Amino acid sequence: MSPPRKGASNLLLLLLLAILSCRFAESAIGVNWGTVSFHRLKPSTVVDLLKENKIGKVKLFDADPGALEALMGSGIQVMVGIPNELLSTISSSVSASDLWVRQNVSRYMVKGGADIRYLYIAVGNEPFLTSYSGQFQTYVMPALLNLQQSLTKANLAGYVRLVVPCNADAYESPSLPSQGAFRPELTQIITQLVSFLNSNGAPFVVNIYPFLSLYGNSDFPQDYAFFEGTTHAVTDGPNVYTNAFDGNFDTLVSALTKLGYGQMPIVIGEVGWPSDGAPGANLTAAKVFNQGLINHVVGNKGTPLRPGSPPMDVYIFGLLDEGAKSVLPGNFERHWGIFSFDGQAKYALNLGQGNKNLKNAENVEYLPSRWCVVDSSKDLTNVANHMRIACSVADCTTLNYGGSCNEIGVKGNISYAFNSFYQLKMQDERSCDFDGLGMVTFLDPSVGECRFLVGVTETKGSSSSKSSSSFIGSRRWMISIIVLFIWAVQLLMM
């Protein structure tokens, strides 16, 4: 047998490089699809919204059957979440782990199913968060090992990767990114985690929120939170940081380097800017931050420690506003969406996916165009209690300081509260009574950016139309590799 020709060897190398470059070109902007809302769009409507905006990656916080069924055949890659509350059970029982995989992964990996070939299962969400005081910490590695075993049994271990989204508070730095290190009490478990991730070809997933740095620290320079340049640049040896995102990212890189994993791929699991509910949380700031972030990522700028190498994927938080979320962190928690709860774009945003601006959801099924407002002709002496009750159930976060409805006047505030409750109760006429203080109107009482919502129907829609296109597409890439590889080997043998 004659030795391989040099030209054929070079050709094989080029082919393999081309294949690898195609694989890594899948990195993109994705979104987090949260569902903690009083007014949930039909899953099929949300999937259509994702497709219209050419969003090819989505992250779920649980294995919601409606969402997964709607995603089947869509070609959209999914990161499925396992809530922290399940970690104890899964970590202590292989049977529970097997059952979870069967119910939430295997059943969707069918012809025309969800695109799970290059999927990640998020084991918990920010389980090392400081505020959890370590309550989930001991479950993480046992849960990972059990789930990996379950995936192997199901012949899925080569297709599905396990990751653990971490909050940026898992690591810290005295002052400079190069000094980054994981919190001392986490060093042992994080070392185990990154070793597991590395051995299974999985990335480190981190959630980074410059907004929270600004919100929680009055001394934090506002312009450093964005990507427009700053007068407060941070100089770290030869590296200069002009935005908080890069500084935070490289702090993680430094922390990973100290553990011997400086080249580990990183995925941003959550990043974004709220548009309401607090000072600094508004439409303008949200647009400037998110567009700056997207331009920064798709422009392949990278960071000082990883120039020209942006994160593998970046998942914007979030897709839709979630009006039923806890406001314990702040009223802004319900306003992270780039779309409002009903799938309408809040501002112009180019996701770098082909569309210059966001496209609104279509075929949204609204309740009738009517609102509940206060009857200003009545004695409003006792209205405060009614307003308090309404807001204890419905979402009134925009009325607070810094919110878009904070300056619409006392009667406007009362009407907003009444209407929020009325829409939550699906416009039941009794829900607009308030001891005779409320009245139904057909004139939209919205004022400027203060939008009085109309609810959407809660009809359970069927999933998007299924087809085998996703299944075929996910296999086509591998088939192409095999064909090219065989061809290249034949050239070498000549």
CA pair distance 148, 97, nearest whole angstrom: 9
CA pair distance 467, 473, nearest whole angstrom: 11
CA pair distance 314, 208, nearest whole angstrom: 10
Beta pairing partners, 235: 240
What the block records as the tokens of 245 is 């995102």
Q: What angle do CA 24, 115, 356 make, to 5 degrees?
A: 65
435 contacts: CB under 8 Å, gap ≥ 6: 382, 386
- Selecting among 85, 172, 270, 365, the annotated active-site residue is 270
Could you tell me the end-to-end alpha-carbon distance of the chain, in angstroms, rounded to an integer?
9
CA pair distance 32, 443, nearest whole angstrom: 34
- Examine the residue annotation and report whether 458 is marked as an active-site residue of this protein: no
Place of tokens 């591998």: 478
- Examine the residue annotation and report whether 126 is marked as an active-site residue of this protein: yes
Give, for 392, the enclosing helix (H) or strand (E): helix 383-393
Q: Starting from the edge strand earliest in sequence, which strands make up the sheet with 57-60, in order?
A: 161-163, 115-123, 77-82, 57-60, 29-33, 314-316, 266-271, 204-207, 166-167
247 contacts: CB under 8 Å, gap ≥ 6: 177, 234, 241
In terms of Cα–Cα distance, which of 29, 3, 13 is closest to 298?
Answer: 29
What the block records as the tokens of 116 is 């799970």
Chain centroid to CA 445: 32
In terms of Cα–Cα distance, which of 231, 207, 226 is closest to 291?
Answer: 226
Chain centroid to CA 69: 19
- Selecting among 69, 85, 126, 458, the annotated active-site residue is 126
CA pair distance 458, 39, nearest whole angstrom: 7
62-66: list long-range contacts, CB under 8 Å, 24+ apart.
Answer: 63/100, 63/103, 63/104, 63/105, 64/35, 66/460, 66/463
What residues act catalytically? 126, 270
